A and B are shown apart, each in its own frame.
Chain A
Amino acid sequence: MKPFTISLRSLGRHSFLAITTTFVLVPFIWMISLSLKPPGESFNGSFSLLPQTWHAAQNYTRAMTASPLPRFMFNGFFVCGVILTLQLLVCTPIAYALAKLKFPGRNVLFALVLIGLLVPGQVLALPLFILAHQLNLLNTYAALVFPFIVSPFGIFLFRQFFNTIPDDIVHAARLDGMSEFAIVWRIMLPMAVPALIAFSIFSVVGHWNDLFWPLIAVRSQELMPPPLGLMAFKNEDTGIDYGPLMAASTIVVAPLVIVFLVAQSWFIRGLTAGGVK
């Protein structure tokens, strides 16, 4: 009787996981399926994942040529790269100071960071827009980057991670002759690789997929990141052509999937190496 109940329970568990995974995956699968089909097949009544006549080459060619998709992709890489780099340059020293240095007002500052975590980005859109306008930044790469340089989430995440690193390591580094910045870059950040990977995933995915702020900040097609570019694609006079649109979407999503898979193996490696005692 007992083995049966266990297998029943695990059956239930697995079918629950399978169903939720399906919910998540179906739109992606459907997107890829549509990107392979000719226009007529997208809306006919019969359901099939694979097309009757393959139209992949035409769809993907049109996706790459009908709008400046390569340019959008480059913008996405560039903007996300700059944002992440600046975020790390700003957040890790702040997080180190909040975690390991003793100074008056430290707890108040950390509380302010936590409040910053609670404020949704949309609330700040209007003030940021006016700020960008007055600094003459609108419709530049800088406009896409500057609101995100100081990330409360990044400060919080790194601060929590740095807190778990023993003080003795910081003391040893000071005795070994390192300056406080050298401790951040040479000791704390390399030891925080799991936090670094996690934060990078959040940051890159968030800003790669961001539609809201780029919609406000830039109007020139030269500067548009991929999601905004997709909008431009969709709004062209020819109407909504689902095959090429889905092909473009697939291309836009692909780097994220690849980056995530690569980062995941890094993430696991980062967790197993290290260890103080």
Chain B
Amino acid sequence: MSGLELRNICKNFGSTNVIRNLSLDVVPGEFLTLLGPSGCGKSTLLRIIAGLELQDEGSVAIGGRAVDGLRPKRRDVAMVFQSYALYPHMSVARNLAIPLLMRRLNTLQRLPVFSAFVPGTAAKKAEIASEVARIAKSIGIDHLLDRKPSQLSGGQRQRVAVGRAMVRQPAVFLMDEPLSNLDAKLRVQMRAEIKELHQRLGVTFIYVTHDQVEAMTLSDRVAVMLDGELLQVAPPQEIYTNPHDRRVAEFVGSPKINMIDVKVREGGLAKIGGQVLPLEFDAKQDTLTIGIRPEAFRLTDSRDPNSLSSIVRLIEHMGSDLFVHVDLSGVPDPVIARLPAWSSHIAPGSSLHLRITTEQVLLFSKDGKRLKPQASVTPLRGLVR
């Protein structure tokens, strides 16, 4: 089991800085997700770890060993690609066997016809075939071994791609948006399978995605990446409840967090609509941004002194919840509140009394930094394997 250390990685494509001075430690056996919008440099970072791209500055170490000068095949990593990247002209069995064939057989033993005369080839090939069969069985594709990739469904191809990464028992698994080509239902199923695979193998996984649900459900820690920088590295729950940067708060959470700019009054008080919020922060700020998650709103009535009166614009029924878009007085943009589904008396155009749970409110300064955050990289606690 190996961890991974990235130190001051920089990467430029021409004049654009794709990755800026990025450092990250991954604990052995951890499932770490790189989460960010497309174009944030997360796939490039994964390719740098794999050795498929070379960083301009900085160093990569896998299992305590610097791998900067090593070719991809010497780094003991395996990668699952978004497009699966299976070899279309080879059967599934051959696709799975290739990593082992290329590693365990010497040049003579790999020659097409001649290899039959090289001693030891048959035994090694038999050994590889039995390993391939075992892996195929463990991920439920043993009945597909004779097929070509073009004869498989999306989910089956995905499994083959995972199997090909598994056969050679790498120290680190790299996954580049492996689920994004699957339909929604299959994605949920494969997500669970990947999680299970990680628990079974206990190997370090680095998983790149732009899908926050995948990041939240799979990870031990989530590394939120934007414009080539790591904004925060923390367990999923903490990323959600304790974001250190306005951009993290806005990227994680669906529907999106409501951001409201307010003026600070004397004594650390701010007013939204009719409600005065007692805010606690150290720095002297004139204005700041209040982030309110949709579920931080509660339904109340006009007798509540702290209620905000609002006008309903739009209602989205989600089954378990309602997403209610409302106009708050004194707030320019509409605000989304997540209310229980039984709040059925709500209708567009009607007025609604809401109350903000102040403990759940997040405060950000003008430059986007969270006020009163804790350490910006949370070390992983309690990962026992």
- Check if A9 is an interface residue, CB within 8 A of chain B: no
Instruction: Give the interface size class of chain A.
Output: 20 to 34
**Among the interface residues B51, B52, B79, B88, which one has the most CB atoms of the partner chain A within 10 A?**
B88
Question: Is A168 part of the binding interface, using a Cβ–Cβ cutoff of 8 Å?
Answer: yes
In this assembly, does B360 line the interface, its C-beta being within 8 Å of a C-beta of chain A?
no
Tell me the residues in window 6-26 of chain A with beta carbons closer than 8 Å to chain B beta carbons: none
A275 proximal to B (CB < 8 A): yes
- Asked whether A174 lies within 8 Å of B72 as measured between CB atoms, the reply is yes
CB-based nearest A residue for B176? A168
B85–A178 CB distance below 8 A: no
* Minimum CB–CB distance for B42 against chain A, Å: 16
Q: Quick check: B81 and A276 within 8 Å, CB to CB?
A: no
Partner of B89, one of A168, A178, A274, A277: A274
Partner pick for A277 among B78, B84, B148, CB 8 A cutoff: B84
Looking at chain B, what size class is its interface with the partner chain?
20 to 34
Q: Do A172 and B79 touch across chains, with their CB atoms under 8 A apart?
A: yes
Chain B neighbourhood of A191, CB < 8 A: 87-89
Chain B neighbourhood of A126, CB < 8 A: none
The residues of A that contact B271 with a CB separation of less than 8 Å are none
CB-based contact A190/B85 at 8 Å = no
Contact between A176 and B148, CB atoms less than 8 A apart: no
| Chain B positions 76-117 with a Cβ under 8 Å from a chain A Cβ | 77-79, 81-89, 98-99, 102-103
CB–CB B73/A273 < 8 A: no
Judge if B355 is at the interface, Cβ distance under 8 Å: no
Are B88 and A274 interface neighbours, CB within 8 A?
A: yes
Cβ–Cβ < 8 Å partners of A169 in chain B: 85, 87
Nearest B residue (CB) for A185:
B112
What sequence of 0s and 1s flags, for each residue 161-180 of chain A, a beta carbon within 8 Å of any chain B beta carbon?
00000101101111111100
B164 touches A176 (CB 8 A): yes
Please tell me if the beta carbons of B85 and A275 are within 8 angstroms of each other in the complex.
Answer: no
Whether a CB of chain A sits under 8 angstroms from the CB of B47 is yes
B263 within 8 A of A: no
Once the chains are docked, how many angstroms separate the CA of A174 from the CA of B77?
11
Is B50 interfacial (CB-CB < 8 Å)? yes
Interface membership of A82, Cβ < 8 A: no
A177 CA to B47 CA, complexed, in Å:
16
Q: How far is the CA of A166 from the CA of B176 in the complex (A)?
A: 15
A selection of 6 A-B contacts at a CB cut-off of 8 Å is: A168-B82, A172-B79, A173-B87, A175-B79, A176-B73, A273-B150
A interface vs B, CB < 8 Å?
Answer: 166, 168-169, 171-178, 182, 187, 190-191, 193, 273-277
Interchain residue pairs A-B with the least CB separation, the first 6? A177-B102, A168-B85, A172-B85, A177-B73, A190-B89, A176-B99
